[in-house]
């Protein structure tokens, strides 16, 4: 999702881009094709992902992928590793976010100069949740968020790569505070779908973390310009 925007932003800035994914014959978990694909690269921007709510699965994926990438980068002389992570997850060391925190630790402990760039949830987040849900009523977790356009995240990552290794880039969040259930209702209404949305508070560290508001980031975060309702009617949404 964010990868195609990152590639487009890098190409628009005049960079030669090599796309690494299983669909192009490179696997960052097994390491297949990695050394060859990285030959001559100045920087790697890691936006790989696995979809899971299991902490063990997420940790396994992000640690393995990061270690493989960093080892290959070191061996071919890549000078900068940029990793995309998520705003406000520090105290939510559970479920998927446990994997992202493990990724950040692996990057920071690794052999390659790095920048960890955190972004808030993409505008696509509500739609991804709705599309995986059956039944007449959509039940979504209580979640206070500040969604951002994946297009702006892609451009942010390219600027971070160009700036050189800084350890940590400024957080990037969207322009408005939102609540997931409201965003989901607006998306369904925009699409002409009559389906009630119910926001529910769930127990457990992960769900409490989503409700806590920490994912909205702090006052020092950089803000994107594209608000959710603007994105809804944009060409980016049609393509996603």
Ligand X SMILES: NC(=O)c1ccc[n+]([C@@H]2O[C@H](COP(=O)([O-])OP(=O)(O)OC[C@H]3O[C@@H](n4cnc5c(N)ncnc54)[C@H](OP(=O)(O)O)[C@@H]3O)[C@@H](O)[C@H]2O)c1
Interface with ligand X, residue 28, by CB under 6 A: yes
* Interface characters, 107-126, with ligand X (x: CB under 6 A): ------------x-xx--x-
Q: Which of 37, 41, 47, 130 binds ligand X (CB under 6 A)?
A: 47
Minimal distance in Å, beta carbon 136 to ligand X? 26
Give the separation between CA 165 and CA 116, rounded to whole angstroms: 9
Q: What is the CA radius of gyration of the chain?
A: 18
From the list 10, 37, 6, the residue with the least C-alpha distance to 21 is 37
User: Residue 3: phi, psi to the nearest 5?
Assistant: -60, -45
Q: Which residues contact 193 (CB under 8 A, 6 or more apart)?
A: none
# binding residues, ligand X (CB under 6 A) = 21
Q: Which of 12, 13, 22, 39 binds ligand X (CB under 6 A)?
A: 22
Nearer to ligand X, 33 or 199 (CB): 33
What is the four-CA torsion angle of 208, 59, 105, 153, rounded to 10 degrees?
Answer: -70
Interface with ligand X, residue 29, by CB under 6 A: yes
Residues 51-90 that bind ligand X (CB under 6 A): 84, 86
Interface with ligand X, residue 207, by CB under 6 A: no
Q: How far is CA 116 from CA 28, 44, 129, 140, in A?
A: 18, 12, 26, 29
Residues of this chain that interact with ligand X (CB under 6 A) are 1-3, 20-23, 26-29, 47-49, 84, 86, 100, 119, 121-122, 125
């Amino acid at each position: 999702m964010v990868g195609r925007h990152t590639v487009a932003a890098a190409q628009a800035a005049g960079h030669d881009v090599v796309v690494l994914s299983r669909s192009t014959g490179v696997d960052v978990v097994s390491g297949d094709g990695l050394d060859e694909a990285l030959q001559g690269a100045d920087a790697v921007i890691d936006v790989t992902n696995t979809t899971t709510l299991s902490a063990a699965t997420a940790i396994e994926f992000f640690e393995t992928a990061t270690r493989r990438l960093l080892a290959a980068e070191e061996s071919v002389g890549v000078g900068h590793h940029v990793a995309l992570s998520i705003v406000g997850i520090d105290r939510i060391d559970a479920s998927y976010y446990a994997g992202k925190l493990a990724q950040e630790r692996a990057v920071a402990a690794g052999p390659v100069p790095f920048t960890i760039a955190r972004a808030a949830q993409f505008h696509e987040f509500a739609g991804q949740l709705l599309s995986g849900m059956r039944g007449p009523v959509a039940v979504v977790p209580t979640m206070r968020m500040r969604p951002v356009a994946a297009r702006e995240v892609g451009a942010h990552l390219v600027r971070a790569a160009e700036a050189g290794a800084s350890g940590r880039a400024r957080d990037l969040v969207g322009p408005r505070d939102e609540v997931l259930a409201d965003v989901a209702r607006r998306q369904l209404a925009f699409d002409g779908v009559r389906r009630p949305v119910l926001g529910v508070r769930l127990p457990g560290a992960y769900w409490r973390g989503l409700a806590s508001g920490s994912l909205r980031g702090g006052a020092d975060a950089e803000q994107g310009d594209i608000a959710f309702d603007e994105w809804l009617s944009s060409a980016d949404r049609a393509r996603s």
